[in-house]
Structure 1
């Protein structure tokens, strides 16, 4: 089975599918051909504009019970400087036990593995069902496949989702949320050579940046292990040299926690803007809540339990960056966001995935899925014995 998974992953890597750059039809065509050959029920997902944003595989067990989902993206990060790669980014070969090429780690190998798990279950009788979401709008940040899946009236809403990001040392069970906004600072325009000295919008925006970066944020609190974080991500204003600018736009990204949520983030920014003594317009752009599953909460418990039974030392981890688990959390759907093979060069140069880990990772996901479909354990056994 692992050879079949690697072969499918190689075919996917050889069809470039950079988010927002490449046509996704070739990579989806490979998946659809593979699924059709094995008579697996599948269909494309579309957004409101009619754009294909993913592929959904649905395997019903025929008995009443909850559905669970596996999720892996088949779009990828850009190649970056191709001249810096030691091999073509779409090579898709195996050298010294490493699967090489863009998407090998994130997340075409996981997509192939999840398709194989669905194929194994097809035709069997079990409770509920398994969905496999293959998203082609993940690296754009739009998560269009997940949004279309959740909005599809024909799809059974999953009780939980396991996302196949790579890395064998941890199961990501949480992540900080975010609140993002632009602040437009206004000032009186004029000539930079005028005898009258008037601070322009850029100068006032610079003061706003200092106020924001000097703001006191709380530390980690309670069961959530990370503190909030504020980053000024952009500043745009002014033109040429002879005009005092009357407008400057500041972008701010605040990573939120349960103890410092979107409401607190917005209040902090509005207080700082009010201190400028000049008009400033705060426009919230996007917000996701933080999330964290307890280790005995599904599907985290099933995945941690299966990893422990496989002899691995795997820790439950809360991620600093947000991920698709935040989107699912906003919909009330618990998710894990990472357990997979070792990797190098993710989103960077010479991306590759270590295939010696694949049999163990596959066995862990198989057992986790089997436990969930059987109504398996909700707590972890003690005594992890090793690591990949």
Structure 2
């Protein structure tokens, strides 16, 4: 594949190097599946490449064996600081038999880079790293931070650690960040908004009893049924009040996990029953009020049944709503236009990204844009078009130059 013409962005982009890096990353099975060296093989590869470029590189463990890699590129002149952000942990491939090829092939067939993590989001990581290098070689003012943060597919521990360190002023070579481009796959859309997410668990506790003598205990299972009905009612009320967000769609309160006692003991009435919720919100929803409402509802249901209720918030990620006129959004729109010759569609992220945490915990302005289809993530036969990788790399170059100046 030819490099970009120098007159396009006044810098050259090596398409072959970008795709090669993405393919090498895909071949590494960096599956988020609990403790262990999940990101380490990919993190070491990226850190070595960044050091070869001459960047200042820091590796920070968000959890044991879970390193984030942060590269800082100094333009040598005062100016803004732009961050490119991504992750290299991936979800499991699931049943390999559901794939029509090796989940970690990292090969190119019919113009597609194939394999788990190709779209979500190792191609984006490769694109942002090489885009930063291209901008550096062309000369710029300010700084570029390339952050590959751990545990995005889990509790986003890398983003939380990075945000905390930034607020504390303990990140080497980084005193501020003026805008963040998150490289998640969005099908060519520039996404300044993202849904919020609340993960919570509601547990009802009664008293165990023999299934033949239920009057000797207090059964929490009917309370779960009542709670499920109340959750559906709450979702209906919220949707009626706020409607669908034009970029994010509907508010969703989705029960995802049900658990009650020992499923093998059919003759035992359990003492506890639990429902877990994955709640996805739009900027119209006040999270604290919704959590309080659900807790009050669970409390009333429990009281009526002679039970106790406990609501545990596992994580609370507010929606992202970066103004379209913010410089980082305008830069990404300009970058897409420069790379494609067309105006970008302004879209929304259906799930949360690390950008959600960077906005929540550090007040950073974020926008999401990256190679690959918007809905391909986490599916079998994951792929990313090679042409998307090249286009996105150029868009990142142009966005950075627009944001930082040259």
TM-score (norm 1): 0.87
Taking the aligned partners of 2:291 and 2:105, their CA distance within structure 1 comes to 46
Matches within 5 A, 1:72-151: 72-122=86-136, 125-139=139-153, 141-151=154-164
Matched, 1:8 2:21: yes
- Measure how far apart 1:16 and its partner are: 1.8
Which of 29, 35, 57 aligns to 2:44? It is 29
Taking the aligned partners of 2:38 and 2:214, their CA distance within structure 1 comes to 57
Q: Which stretch shifts more, 32-41 or 336-345?
A: 336-345
Q: Which residue of 2 aligns with 1:209?
A: 228
Contiguous gaps of at least 5 residues in structure 2: 1-13
Matched, 1:305 2:319: no
Q: 1:238 to 1:203 in 2, by over 3 A?
A: farther
Q: Which residue of 1 aligns with 2:321?
A: 292
- Measure how far apart 1:30 and its partner are: 2.3
Matches within 5 A, 1:162-201: 162-194=181-213, 196=215, 200-201=219-220
Which of 284, 287, 299 aligns to 1:274? It is 299
Q: Could you report, residue by residue, the CA deviation over 1:347-370 in whole angstroms, capped at 9, with x for unpaired residues?
A: 222221111233322221111100
Q: Which stretch shifts more, 154-163 or 326-335?
A: 154-163
Q: Could you report, residue by residue, the CA deviation over 1:67-120 in whole angstroms, capped at 9, with x for unpaired residues?
A: 110012122221211123222122211122111222221111221121212222
Q: 1:332 to 1:224 in 2, by over 3 A?
A: farther
Matched, 1:234 2:257: yes
Taking the aligned partners of 2:99 and 2:126, their CA distance within structure 1 comes to 24
**8 Å Cα contact 1:178-1:254 kept in structure 2:** yes
Q: 1:208 to 1:374 in 2, by over 3 A?
A: same
Q: Which residue of 1 aligns with 2:75?
A: 61
**8 Å Cα contact 2:205-2:272 kept in structure 1:** yes
Q: Which residue of 1 aligns with 2:58?
A: 43
**8 Å Cα contact 2:55-2:73 kept in structure 1:** yes
- Measure how far apart 1:223 and its partner are: 8.0
Q: 1:373 to 1:189 in 2, by over 3 A?
A: same
**8 Å Cα contact 2:123-2:389 kept in structure 1:** no
Taking the aligned partners of 2:74 and 2:322, their CA distance within structure 1 comes to 26
Larger RCO, structures 1/2 (Cα 8 Å, 6+ apart): 2
Q: 1:62 to 1:13 in 2, by over 3 A?
A: same
Q: Could you report, residue by residue, the CA deviation over 1:129-167 in whole angstroms, capped at 9, with x for unpaired residues?
A: 00011124222x222332333333123331111111123
**8 Å Cα contact 1:70-1:163 kept in structure 2:** yes
**8 Å Cα contact 2:190-2:345 kept in structure 1:** yes
- Measure how far apart 1:266 and its partner are: 1.3
Q: Could you report, residue by residue, the CA deviation over 1:41-76 in whole angstroms, capped at 9, with x for unpaired residues?
A: 2221223x5544211110011222221100121222
Q: 1:294 to 1:2 in 2, by over 3 A?
A: same
Q: Which residue of 2 aligns with 1:259?
A: 284
Which of 312, 315, 326 aligns to 1:283? It is 312
Question: Greater helix percent: which structure?
Answer: 2
Q: Which stretch shifts more, 181-190 or 325-334?
A: 181-190
**8 Å Cα contact 2:22-2:122 kept in structure 1:** yes
Classify the secondary structure of the residue corresponding to 1:127.
coil
Q: CA RMSD in A?
A: 2.6
Q: Could you report, residue by residue, the CA deviation over 1:224-255 in whole angstroms, capped at 9, with x for unpaired residues?
A: 76443212222211342333333212222322
**8 Å Cα contact 2:247-2:347 kept in structure 1:** no
Taking the aligned partners of 2:272 and 2:64, their CA distance within structure 1 comes to 38
Q: 1:248 to 1:27 in 2, by over 3 A?
A: same
Q: Which stretch shifts more, 74-83 or 28-37?
A: 28-37
Taking the aligned partners of 1:92 and 1:370, their CA distance within structure 2 comes to 31
Matched, 1:329 2:354: no
Q: Which residue of 1 aligns with 2:389?
A: 358
Contiguous gaps of at least 5 residues in structure 1: 376-388
Classify the secondary structure of the residue corresponding to 1:122.
helix
- Measure how far apart 1:345 and its partner are: 4.6
